[in-house]
Structure 1
């Protein structure tokens, strides 16, 4: 098997050293007018960003020389040169492939970097190659959080309803050189899978979810974050190990924010999980800084864990 041994450090800081590589980095260069300018693995791109509405861009000249631009009206990318396959960005201990998608995405959400760091370093249980703690990643997309947890020694159940996303997660594992990673790649509905895990009485040390504000499940049933996330959270709490656990919830919705989620968890976690030790919370907004130090909002996060 060729995947990280949790008894050894997997932190990679080469890209952060002076003179390090720049062709495997991500940087938010500028934003404004409902769009953002990004340097992605050495390629300058321009794509929509609702959070940048009503704001003014700072580097107008650089916007004119982008290599790729996503046209929101035509729903397609325009490239000045080929976006060659095989590009990856370094995420601190693991790598993620980046490529243009039909929806204007690039295969990774860089605003989640602080959460990946938290998953890799905070309140980690003891682990070995023969005894890996279990983690569950719901709405797992292309798997950056999954890769972060595998690099920290976890065995991960990676759940996403879109087959293409799960295939991309497999490719991400391959990009990290992991030929037989401790990952269960599952094309499944997050709500239904979680309910089945409750009936099976399975338990996880860490659960991560990044549910959409709106969407549809594989059966066509509508998903609304403000309505549907609460029963899903209830089921996730039933899956947590009470002696030692972590829960990470992120989202992008005008109807639900970190205060709503924290208030719900403050009420439900003590009754459902009955955690040992002291319950801890860390909540806030995910924000990406540009080259001028301005910060672009990218949704909320809520982290919960127990200590002692």
Structure 2
């Protein structure tokens, strides 16, 4: 089933407007303007309204497409918290203004957090083992943990894992296993050990580095990673979710990879795109996903 999924009614987040390669968002009480390469249309709101609302605006450094600086209005903090709720799942996230324009959370992942929470609860295994690789600040890890999982959270950046731990504590959760490691190295080692998981979550970047300089390039590494996941995924009680944010990387690529690699294990599958909608009723695409499980929703 091909789906277009967006966030639900989330009190602490909204995409206010998008266009001219930017997006204007509200996180809790604060409005942020930052670059968005896929917003190629015109802005819905006038520029004066953007300037009035935005309390923090990200400007790229000259000659560096990746990094930049935030320009803050008076009263705009560099860190703050927002809340998230889905049914009886209640999480709290610390946000912060990074030099890479990120704030520590990807709101379009809302529907994936819900899927992880619901599916983990339906697994038959008591305290199912779930592995989250490229786990960033841990929203998906916490959704699995709140559903009763024995969760392993892996990211190659130590400071990001500290950030995820802050989110865990703010959400009144505990006992997450934190690992700072190159994802490919860890997956290869787990396969050699014969370790398996009931759930695997993947959100790999287009390009990245491991803690010891290991190189990750999505188009070169993804095929092997998916094959390693096949070896790690439990054969009877399971789910797998992968999300990609890489312009031009079609969901059909994921469809081919998953069906070729997992075969009949692909059940109750969903694939498609994640997006956010703004006040002008435009849909901003923010990644592709594929997910399947042994249990129906």
Could you say which TM-score interval applies, normalised by the shorter chain? 0.7 to 0.9
Provide the residue aligned with 2:131 in structure 1: 136
What's the CA shift string for 1:262-283, capped at 9, x where partnerless?
112112113xxx64xx723200
- Which residue does the alignment assign to 2:5? none
Q: TM-score, normalised by structure 1?
A: 0.85
Is the CA contact 1:226–1:256 (under 8 Å) kept in the aligned structure 2? no
In structure 2, list runs of 5 or more residues that go unmatched: 1-7, 63-67
Task: Confirm or deny that 1:222 pairs with 2:222.
Answer: no
Are 1:89 and 1:97, in contact at CA under 8 Å, matched by a contact in 2?
no
Q: Does 1:156 align with 2:145?
A: no
How far apart in 1 are the matches of 2:245 and 2:78? 30
CA drift of 1:98 comes to 1.4
CA deviation after TM superposition for structure 1 residue 292, in Å:
2.8
What is the CA-CA distance between 1:202 and the residue it aligns to?
A: 1.1
Pairing partner for 1:98 from 91, 95, 100: 95
Runs (4 or more) in structure 1 with deviation over 4 Å come to none
In structure 2, the residue matched to 1:9 is none
| Aligned mates of 1:207, 1:91 — CA distance in 2 | 23
What secondary structure, in the 3-state scheme, does the structure 1 residue paired with 2:159 have? Answer: helix
Give me the whole-angstrom Cα distance separating, in 2, the residues matched to 1:46 and 1:161. Answer: 28
| Residue among 175, 181, 201 paired with 1:182 | 175
Aligned alpha-carbon RMSD (Å): 2.0
> Could you tell me how far 1:150 is from its partner in structure 2?
0.9
Residue 283 of structure 2 corresponds to residue 289 of structure 1? no
* Greater RCO (Cα-Cα under 8 Å, separation 6 or more): 2
Cα distance in structure 2, aligned partners of 1:299 and 1:215: 17
2:19 is the alignment partner of 1:41: no
In structure 1, the residue matched to 2:41 is 55
Structure 1: stretches of 5+ with no match in the other structure: 1-14
Query: Of 145, 165, 171, which residue of structure 1 is paired with 2:160?
Result: 165
* CA apart distance, 1:125: 1.3
Is contact 2:254–2:289 with CA below 8 Å preserved after alignment? no
The partner residue of 1:87 within 59, 70, 81 is 81
Distance in 1 between residues matched to 2:108 and 2:198, nearest whole Å: 24
Pairing 1:125–2:123 present: yes
> For residue 107 of structure 1, what is the aligned residue in structure 2?
104
Deviation at 1:41, TM superposition (A): 1.0
CA distance in 2, matches of 1:34, 1:237: 38
Deviation at 1:255, TM superposition (A): 5.1
The count of residues paired between Structure 1 and Structure 2 equals 277
Deviation at 1:121, TM superposition (A): 1.1
| Alignment equivalent of 2:239, drawn from 242, 246, 267 | 246
Deviation at residue 256 of structure 1 after TM alignment? 3.0
Counting strand residues as a fraction of each chain, which structure ranks higher?
2
- The CA deviation at 1:304 is 1.5
Q: Deviation at 1:67?
A: 0.6
* Farther off after superposition, 221-230 or 242-251: 221-230
SS in 2 for 1:37: strand
**Distance apart, 1:218 and its partner CA:** 2.3
Distance 2:295 2:110 in 1: 23
Deviation (angstroms), 1:306: 2.4
